[in-house]
A and B are shown apart, each in its own frame.
Chain A
Amino acid sequence: MRAAFLIARKDLRQRLRDRSALVYGIIAPLGLAILFSFIFGPLDDAAFEAEYVIVDEDGGQISEAFGEALGGLEDDGIAVIRTVESVEVAREQVETGSDAFAGDDVASADAAFVIPEGFSEAVLAGEAAEMTIIGAAGSELSAQVAYSVAQGFSSELAAVDVAVRTVLPDAMAAIAQEGGTASGVSPGAEGAPGAVTPEMLAALLAQEAASTVNPITVEDVSASTKQLDSTTYLSAGMAVFFLFFTVAFGVSGLLEERRLGTMQRLLAAPVSRSSIIVGKALTSFALGILSMTVLVVASTLLIGAEWGNPLGVALLVVAAVVAAMGILAVVAAVAKNQEQASNFQAIIALVLAFLGGTFFAIAQVGGFMATLGLFTPHAWFLRGLGDLQGGELADILPSVGALLAFGLVTGGIAWFFLQRSVGRTR
């Protein structure tokens, strides 16, 4: 195996010297991720402004309080809030919001809060109540914010609920009597009858320890709670797309040796044929890991990508590199020459990247295309990173497993063909 390491070391020196691996492995993906994140995604929080709509079918105390809480977001310049009349309209606007090609003149929203009829009543009665968030797929970050706003509010209510029932029976009665407007009524001293305002809620919250009972469940219909923000998605997409080109440099080294005539020298040297193949595999692995590591670190530092748990990212990166190696090695094993191999490899890299959703989240389209995506390492890599967001490390195991399976199956096929083709000198 000493020979394999010698060959890999020599290859890496060659690759670093001819710079093409550098361009494909680092400069192109990072450059594009930065460019796209400027075009499509928020660069920092200051530039972030979401558009939310509220559908208030409840019209009660609590829903109003929630509206005001959202108003606070508006004051902070984080969001624009509008009220719409029906769930249908809200859904429509959110859908428009996720459509990158919709015109600016069409009303659109990043997310909608739907407060159903009887919400306030249920909350005040200490029963389970449900608020729905309709998230837009195209703006995961906005949906995420909407989700956390609702969650924050619900936990406040939990405390209030306990407070109301334990310390403020009068206030509760007052709320039940008034049953309406809260505006203009400033809360008096503690315990004074009147409307529940956000300030009051906050005050009550401060008085009492948070309850373990959560009266509100927030249902997220977009299923986008475990999603990558757009910057990370772009960075990861570009990284895995170009990974297939970077790794191709390694595996095609065999064909390059043949073209240069140096394969004859390797075959004449006291070196087993397997160690020539292993040497090329080591080169590919090193190039893949190197470029992915640089991309993860650079995109985190430069454009604020959030890849998640480092161990999980490392597992996914290694598995993705293995998958890319296997697939590209099959091409290198059966191709007639280096030129043919790089053409095939480029086509495969493009098709897999397209189906795998590196250019746009094709899984959101659903149906057949999403199913096809499951046959690409790209989709599994992105899905694994998504599962890593807020999830447990174990959540990524299916993705890691799928990637490794790609690598092992195709790698086995490649090994079989390479055993025969490695001895070819022309």
Chain B
Amino acid sequence: MGDAGDGLVMECRDLHKAFGDIVAVDGVGFTISDGETYGLLGPNGAGKTTSISMICGLLEADAGEVFVDGERMTTRSVEPKRAVGYVPQDIAIYPDLTARENLTFFGRLYGMGGDGLKSRVSEVLELIGLAERADDKADDFSGGMKRRLNIGIGLLHKPHLLVLDEPTVGVDPQSRNAILESVERLSIEGMGVLYTTHYMEEAERLCDRVGIIDSGKIVAEGTRRELVDLIGSQDRVRVVASGDLKSAAEAVDGLPSVVEVGEREGGLDLIVGGAASNLTEILQKTTGAGAVVTSVDVDEPDLESVFLHLTGRARRD
């Protein structure tokens, strides 16, 4: 594997990384094809950023290999890094430089220059909606504008693989939409995308395939359809309630029809086998345990239910 021409822009195998006693990544492996958008979903501390750091050649893997465009990627690689655009989870820009200067500097680092760079910078400024603020210092930008600049730097040099680590945290809905649209467009143009997020809607909308990572391991992988099929004819029940939610969660957990229970702010998230016939029972248990139910939603299973099912945790935004 790892040969050029097999349509894979990235392949990683059996990645391991430990920080002292903490095993951050424990055997992660997956592939991304040209033009494919791959979502890495996982709760906090699951090992998403650590995996991405090894894929981008920032962090030495304890074991395992990464290939980008068929070339081995290590921390010392230079050529394979040209093919990757990296958008760090935390905003990484120079506050003393303007948006244009930030973009231009990184463009040059990737070997761009001249008029090509100039016009590409203008293009990206347009894309991230900062054309009018192009010559303002990044320090003066709002959080969302900085985020957009953060993303713009990553895609400036038209990488084969764009790696975005939770790029939309703290971005308002319009900007988020604009970002998602541009990622979709880039993907259509043939760019491979590796996308981590906490927002299931984003993953559902963007990703051709999703890997669910927990405690450093990929616990499930597939298209949305494949993942949803994993939990079969189960439904997702959202109970909006107040009161003693903890006891309520314990009470319903005992029911045979309830596959998974997650407690969240203002209610419970349940995975239930055949919600229609078991709903009364669930509500009885909930109110019996001291919770006051205000509403109930029954949904077809979606990524969120898969996530909940596999990690046993409701995601935290």
Contact = CB atoms under 8 A, between A and B. Distances in A.
The residue among A7, A267, A271 with the most chain B CB atoms within 10 A of its own CB is A267
A394 interface: no
A265 to B, nearest CB: 5
A6 B60 contact: no
Contacts of A14: 94, 96-97
A262 B76 contact: no
B78 A260 contact: no
Interface string A261-276: 1101111111111000
Interface string B90-122: 111111110001000110111100000000000
Interface secondary structure of B, over-half rule: loop
A82 interface: no
B109 A269 contact: yes
Contacts of B81: 268-271
Contact of A264 (B84, B92, B95, B109): B92
Contacts of B75: 267, 273, 423
Contact of A270 (B58, B88, B97, B110): B110
B78 A272 contact: yes
B88 A264 contact: yes
B58 A6 contact: no
B155 to A, nearest CB: 13
A147 to B, nearest CB: 52
Given A270-B79, A425-B58, A265 B92 contact: yes
A3 B112 CA distance: 12
Contact of B84 (A6, A268, A271): A268
B88 A271 contact: no
A336 interface: no
B92 A6 contact: no
Contacts of A105: none
Contacts of A165: none
B59 to A, nearest CB: 8
Contacts of B57: 267-268
Contacts of B67: none
Nearest to A5: B108
Interface secondary structure of A, over-half rule: helix
Contact of B105 (A6, A261, A423): A6
B86 A265 contact: yes
A268 B84 CA distance: 8
B153 A265 contact: yes
Interface residues of A, number: 23
A264 B58 contact: yes
Interface in B172-224: none
A271 B93 contact: no
A262 B93 contact: yes
A45 interface: no
Interface in B56-85: 56-60, 75-76, 78-79, 81-82, 84
Contacts of A10: 94, 97, 101, 105
A269 B153 CA distance: 11
A55 to B, nearest CB: 64
A28 to B, nearest CB: 20
B78 A271 contact: yes
Interface in A1-41: 3, 6-7, 10, 13-14, 17-18
Contacts of B95: 260
A18 B96 contact: yes
Given A14-B97, A18-B96, A264-B86, A269 B91 contact: no
B122 to A, nearest CB: 20
A286 B60 CA distance: 33
Nearest to B57: A268
Interface in A410-426: 423, 425
B227 to A, nearest CB: 30
Contacts of B79: 270
B96 A266 contact: no
A275 B121 CA distance: 24
A125 to B, nearest CB: 77
Contact of B76 (A260, A266, A269, A273): A273
A70 to B, nearest CB: 61
Contacts of A273: 75-76
Contacts of B111: 270
A302 to B, nearest CB: 30
B88 A261 contact: yes
Contact of B97 (A13, A269, A271): A13
Contacts of B94: 10, 14, 260, 262
B179 to A, nearest CB: 18
Contact of A271 (B53, B59, B86, B109): B109
Contacts of A267: 57-58, 75
The residue among A7, A17, A262 with the most chain B CB atoms within 10 A of its own CB is A262
Interface in A240-269: 260-262, 264-269
B97 A260 contact: no
A77 to B, nearest CB: 54
Given A6-B108, A6-B109, A270 B96 contact: no
Nearest to A262: B92
A10 B103 CA distance: 12
A261 B78 contact: no
Given A6-B105, A14-B97, A264-B86, A270 B78 contact: yes
A171 to B, nearest CB: 80
Q: Which 4 A-B pairs have the closest CB atoms?
A: A261-B92, A268-B86, A270-B81, A270-B82
Given A270-B111, A425-B53, 11 more contacts: A6-B105, A6-B109, A14-B94, A262-B93, A264-B88, A265-B88, A268-B84, A269-B81, A272-B78, A423-B58, A425-B58
13 contacts: A6-B108, A14-B94, A260-B95, A261-B92, A262-B93, A266-B109, A268-B58, A269-B106, A269-B109, A269-B110, A270-B79, A270-B82, A270-B109
Interface of B: 53, 56-60, 75-76, 78-79, 81-82, 84, 86, 88, 90-97, 101, 105-106, 108-111, 153
Interface of A: 3, 6-7, 10, 13-14, 17-18, 260-262, 264-273, 423, 425
